[in-house]
Amino acid sequence: MKRVMRNIIMAALLVAFASCSRHETVDVLVIGGGASGTAAGIQSARMGVNTMIAEQTPWLGGMLTSAGVSCIDGNYKLRSGIFGEFTDSLAARYGGYEALKTGWVSNICFDPHVGQEIFTSMTDECGELLKVRRNVSVHKISGEEGDWDVVMKDENGKRSHIKARVLIDATELGDVAKECGVSYEVGMDSSADTGEDIAPAQANDIIQDLTYVAILKDYGPDADMTIEKPEGYDPSVFANCAENRLSTVPETGQTLWSPEMMITYGKTPGGYYMINWPIYGNDFYVNAIDMSQKEREEAFGQAKNFTECFIYFIQTELGMKNLGIADDVFPTEDGLPFIPYHRESRRIAGEAFLTMDAVADPYAYRFPYYRTGIAVGDYAVDHHHFRHPDWKSLPDLHFYPVPSFNVPLGVIIPEEVDGLLVAEKSVSVSNLINGATRLQPVVMQIGQAAGALAALACIEKKGVKEIGVRQVQECLLDAGCYIMPYLDLPKHDRHFLALQRIGATGILKGEGRNAGWSNETWFRAGDPLLAEEIDIQDYFGAFSIGTGEVTVGRMMELMRMAGAVPYGDPSVWWEKLGLEDYDESRTANRLEAAVVIDAAFDPFGRFEVDYKGNVIR
């Protein structure tokens, strides 16, 4: 009898264990289905690699959807890759790109739930190669490159084991990197460590303010949607958010906006109002990066309360009681987003370290990181510190002028841990330049690059660090991405790829410009070709070209001397390259030189570069 009972109990335990735990194996496991994680998963699966995205919330898209930041900052003229596909889908959904210009803060505004639907559709199109697990969190990570073992836990406490060759940390705060033992920094770097003149003399742990965004809805002129007065409400905290009876001249010297301008800042095509207002609004300071989960929940609850106080201020002091929390956007009990909007995270120690100086003057910086670009951005360096108690003593980083830029591949690769890639905002950059690399378009491109690198490692059965920089860049170019932020040619132009490749070699360099909000970089495609601007020494050694303008005939003669162009009628070869007006006496332009050098020598394909951008010969 005892033996029978023991067998019954053992059988019951086995059944229970089987029901509470399962084992799966994938090639690439992306932990975090935010902006970067979703892009990473899609790219990896599209390359034929068995991939999984594990996301803690019910939605994909992170800051763009789950956090409610549905007005995109930057890259309006640099829409590429999966980011470009996402914005194209938004335009198709709402009736064109002009239909997305509903809020004055951005040229691309949308409704968070629509963004989530588009991301879901994009992942669904990947079929069985991309599994998406929602409402799961990491319980434990062990193993190493090629043999990661991740224990996940769902909202009911049920555990599952996921085996993976490559991990991608796409979490909001870099939690996986920490769990895997990656070294990281939190807060402001010292100028002595980064060489950035405007960085503080001493490092500190101050990060950017976060925001618990709200999406409001107009319920009609006669509606009274005023919420219950939140605990701790103090109207003076928001007095200068806009013109009102409590406002005074703000200490910051910033303009007092009209209430209507403040509210329409983030108006969406669906008629909702994104409340993510930085001027005496709902930004909130807390450094929750190294907090426990329980401590974070408490801190984020305080941030949510702060936003509720701001909503109450809008409804009462600004007289907009007809505006209430939208009841048809987020499927949450309070109608607010699933997560706060994090502007800053851990920043790992990576194979490359991008600083403000490297972005401000990429060709003069000590490392030619620009050669290794995998993402581009054109938004200003935007830091939010107003809600920190000592904000007056912090560096003034309000839209510090830089040109458009690219992000080097090495920032997503940890120095110390193999088989792990880091995306989202936890990449290896300085605190200062994080103010530009943190923006949604850049983060999505970083994620796509991480997905490409992870997939290549799996396809070739190599370690992540055995995959070449140029190989990743070629993969991204094939996927319709920019690796250089040139505005000269659209992506569909026949010569776009030659311009991107030659620009990434540095044989002909572009020119960065900053004019207010307009951060740009131009290849100067139509400018005359000057001999002194051709820099081939790193690739082909000393080669005297001379000085001054180079004619078409002289350029072709140089090609012949190098054995790159066959003898015969050069005009035939010229036309095959898609070039026009073959006249040996006229001055060649920079675009023609890029196309000819790319076709004749293929320096991009022939010469690998390391993570610092140095040519490997």
Report DSSP letters for 447-458, one per residue.
Answer: HHHHHHHHHHHH
Asked if residue 503 lies in contact with residue 510, where contact means CB atoms within 8 angstroms, the answer is yes
**Side-chain-side CA neighbours of residue 270 (13 Å):** 19
pLDDT in tens, 102-119: 999 999 999 999 999 999
pLDDT of 518 over the 60 cut:
yes
Residue written as token pair 């051709």: 534
Calculate the alpha carbon distances from 122 to 45, 423, 451, 455 in Å: 11, 19, 15, 18
Beta bridge partners of 146: none
Beta bridge partners of 53: 30, 132
* CA of residue 539 relative to chain centroid, distance: 31
Distance between terminal CA atoms of the chain? Answer: 78
Banded model confidence at residue 333, pLDDT cuts 50, 70, 90: very high
Give percent of the chain above pLDDT 90: 86
Residue written as token pair 């409402």: 135
The pLDDT of residue 6 is 54
The overall longest dimension of the chain from CA atoms, in Å, is 104
Name the packing angle between helices 440-459 and 469-478 (round to 10°).
Answer: 110
Asked if residue 498 lies in contact with residue 483, where contact means CB atoms within 8 angstroms, the answer is no
Which position has the higher pLDDT, 279 or 558? 279
Which position has the higher pLDDT, 440 or 568? 440
**Which residue, 472, 471, 496, 493, is CA-closest to 485?**
496
User: Among 3-7, 85-89, 434-438, 529-533, which stretch is predicted with the lowest mean pLDDT?
Assistant: 3-7
Reported for 150-159, long-range contacts at CB under 8 A and 24+ positions apart, including other chains, are: 150/29, 150/31, 150/54, 152/54, 158/20, 158/21, 159/20, 159/21
Burial class of residue 99 (count of CB atoms within 10 Å of its CB; 0-12, 13-18, 19+): middle
Find the mean pLDDT for residues 404-413.
Answer: 98
Beta bridge partners of 142: 149
Beta bridge partners of 515: 518
CB atoms within 10 A of CB 205: 11
The pLDDT of residue 567 is 62
pLDDT of 432 over the 50 cut:
yes
Asked if residue 329 lies in contact with residue 395, where contact means CB atoms within 8 angstroms, the answer is no
pLDDT in tens, 240-288: 999 999 999 877 667 789 999 999 999 999 999 999 999 999 999 999 9
Mapping DSSP to helix (H, G, I), strand (E, B) and coil, where does residue 311 land?
helix
pLDDT of 18 over the 80 cut:
no
Beta bridge partners of 381: 400
The pLDDT of residue 3 is 53
Q: Alpha-carbon distance 431 to 184, whole Å?
A: 12
pLDDT of 27 over the 80 cut:
yes
pLDDT of 514 over the 90 cut:
no
pLDDT of 495 over the 90 cut:
yes
pLDDT in tens, 335-391: 999 999 999 999 999 999 999 999 999 999 999 999 999 999 999 899 999 999 988
pLDDT of 14 over the 60 cut:
no
Following CA atoms 488, 491, 496, 501 in sequence, which dihedral angle do they give, to the nearest 10 degrees?
100
Find the mean pLDDT for residues 420-424.
Answer: 97
Question: What is the residue extent of each domain of the chain?
Answer: 21-204+344-354+409-466, 210-325, 496-616
User: What values do phi and psi take at 498, rounded to 5?
Assistant: -65, -40
Beta bridge partners of 40: none
The pLDDT of residue 13 is 44
Question: Is the whole-model pTM more than 0.85?
Answer: yes
Find the mean pLDDT for residues 224-228.
Answer: 98
pLDDT of 47 over the 80 cut:
yes
Find the mean pLDDT for residues 157-171.
Answer: 97
User: Among 266-270, 513-517, 558-562, which stretch is predicted with the lowest mean pLDDT?
Assistant: 558-562
Q: Alpha-carbon distance 161 to 20, whole Å?
A: 11
Banded model confidence at residue 494, pLDDT cuts 50, 70, 90: very high
Q: Look at the domain 21-204+344-354+409-466 and name its fold.
A: FAD/NAD(P)-binding domain (3.50.50)
pLDDT of 186 over the 60 cut:
yes
pLDDT in tens, 188-202: 999 999 999 999 999
Q: Alpha-carbon distance 528 to 587, whole Å?
A: 6
The pLDDT of residue 566 is 64
Q: Which two tokens stand for residue 140?
A: 């434990």
Q: Alpha-carbon distance 472 to 462, whole Å?
A: 14
